[in-house]
A = this chain, B = another copy of it.
Amino acid sequence: MTSAFSDGFCDSSVRATIDLIGGKWSMAILWQLLQEECRYAELQRRVGGISQKVLSAELRTLVGAGLVEREVVPTVPPQVTYRITEEGRSLEDVFAALHRWGLQHGG
């Protein structure tokens, strides 16, 4: 645990993590889903300001990464619910670290 970063910039896992949650909307979405599961339209409304295209793309990415779960109920009209996975919930630690530092730094 001493030096998490050995040498050079060979640690791609940090980069990958930031690439995943560092986007403009990923965090807002995850943040929302951490609080409660949500359907598509509702999620768009809650996040606020995100377009359908971007929301779809983000959700596809997050689902693909295993952070979010997509449940389809084939009714008419269709009903799709998104919820955070255990994997996604584990991000709370990362958020906490970022939050702590953000406060310490920005004041």
Contact = CB atoms under 8 A, between A and B. Distances in A.
A103 B13 contact: yes
A102 B16 contact: yes
B4 A95 contact: yes
Contact-residue size bin, chain A (C-beta under 8 Å from the other chain): 35 or more
A21 interface: yes
22 contacts: A1-B96, A3-B24, A3-B25, A4-B99, A5-B34, A7-B46, A8-B46, A9-B27, A9-B32, A12-B102, A13-B102, A13-B103, A14-B27, A14-B99, A14-B102, A15-B27, A18-B22, A18-B98, A90-B101, A93-B97, A93-B101, A96-B97
Interface of A: 1, 3-9, 11-18, 21-22, 24-25, 27-28, 31-32, 34-35, 46-49, 65-66, 87, 90-106
